Chains A and B, each alone.
Chain A
């Protein structure tokens, strides 16, 4: 399986350790990541595509065209990139008039959208293409006893007919993915509530902190050792956002958040440092000690 590797911008710029982990673990599962020169921001949906759809579509079309030129489907590491690119791909494939209009805009860039590739989030590739059996076979150090609250995030769930990942109201895939690694997935009350990253950055910082506090408190009450995410904005909110919310709202616990690929790397035998666990703001010595015991 070879994919055009769409890193997005948040991961290469703010969380390069997640990019590094992806390039370490995914090829071991037969998912080969083809670097593509010239990929840009997807573009970020709430800032760009929502407010100026034609520009948003054209930028997405250029990214999709670059993947078409390589001849491989796109794999992403981000809910937002998946949301933007999948919707643009579907809209452009369904409407020849719109496609012509966008291709006229692209003319000066030398690229042309044809509609020849599909877009997949890495979690979709792992669950639907690689298969969790194969993931399980790669586990050398099962995360036995680690209690994990998974947060799927909004933009990979809806609109479900286009995203095609999981049930927006009762998502189950991330729990299955954590179980595959030997960890114990947890049920908690605010499971499908947004992480609040977008609200924090474009809307209201205090409202987002209150939301995040409710969500983290629910995870903590369920007995979570840590949080599992598959989107860099969710990671930023649950990590850096948690650090800031903990100050303003006086949270009396710390709940480390890791990207799923980091848990996967640990289960495949990489160390905490190799998995980039030391790169986050919210760190808890108790959690790291428990992880080291499990991995010993």
Chain B
């Protein structure tokens, strides 16, 4: 093990330090058959990989590329130096949300989950399909609003 930076839900300590170890070797994005899915994205080229675009940005939390990360862990599996770019990118996403810079695709889904309990809207089509199959209707819940109030997320979203 070259580097061991523990990462937990509570602490982002070490995430930036780990990113500084990145040697730009490009292994995480080298193979379309296996590596980082975002290598299919527009910013990618073999000399400046998707992951390095995220790690090397001047203001990484404001770099729109971070939102292409799908948290698939491929970079973590492949990185020979155990940099775990996923943890860095996820940390930047948290900072971006905190700074009000998360895109609408993210904040819209968060609002949807908090307000209804589900990440996807229940449509008339949903109810028709469920009815045809003899399945009971999907029920909304209020509990997640209480949770989001207590964690400060609601306050952040209202800003």
Contacts and interface: CB of A to CB of B under 8 A. Distances in A.
Interface of A: 9-10, 12-14, 16-17, 19-20, 37-38, 40-41, 43-48, 50-55, 57-59, 62, 91, 95, 98, 104-109, 154-155, 157-159, 168-169, 189-190, 192-194, 196, 198-199, 201-204, 206-208, 210-211, 214, 218, 279
Interface in B102-159: 102-103, 105-106, 109-110, 113-114, 117-123, 126, 129-130, 133-135, 138-139, 141, 143-144, 146-148, 150-153, 156
B106 A14 contact: no
Contacts of B139: 37
B130 A51 contact: no
A52 B147 contact: no
B38 interface: yes
Contacts of B120: 9-10, 13-14
Given A9-B120, A194-B70, A40 B151 contact: no
A257 B94 CA distance: 35
Nearest to A19: B135
B77 interface: yes
Contact of A12 (B97, B105, B114, B135): B135
A52 B9 CA distance: 10
Interface in B62-98: 67-74, 76-77, 90, 93-94, 96-97
B37 interface: yes
Given A12-B135, A47-B110, A59 B73 contact: no
Contacts of B90: 50
A50 B93 contact: yes
B147 A44 contact: no
B10 interface: yes
A40 B126 CA distance: 16
B33 interface: yes
Contacts of A12: 126, 130, 135, 138
A219 B42 CA distance: 25
A108 B122 contact: no
27 contacts: A9-B118, A12-B126, A14-B126, A47-B105, A47-B110, A47-B119, A48-B110, A48-B119, A51-B93, A59-B147, A95-B8, A105-B147, A189-B33, A192-B33, A193-B34, A193-B37, A194-B72, A199-B38, A199-B70, A202-B68, A203-B41, A203-B68, A207-B37, A207-B41, A208-B40, A210-B40, A279-B129
Contacts of A59: 113, 144, 147
B144 A40 contact: yes
B4 to A, nearest CB: 14
Given A169-B77, A202-B106, A45 B71 contact: yes
Contacts of B34: 169, 190, 192-193
A55 B148 contact: yes
Given A9-B117, A51-B97, 6 more contacts: A9-B118, A13-B118, A44-B113, A51-B102, A106-B147, A214-B32
Contact of A98 (B10, B126, B133, B150): B10
A203 B113 contact: no
Contacts of A279: 129
Given A9-B118, A17-B133, A98-B9, A207 B42 contact: yes
A199 B119 contact: no
Contact of A55 (B67, B71, B141, B151): B151
Contacts of A16: 126, 129-130, 133, 135
Contacts of A107: 150
B131 to A, nearest CB: 9
Contacts of A55: 110, 114, 147-148, 151, 153
A271 B131 CA distance: 20
B150 A211 contact: no
B147 A41 contact: no
Contacts of B138: 12-13
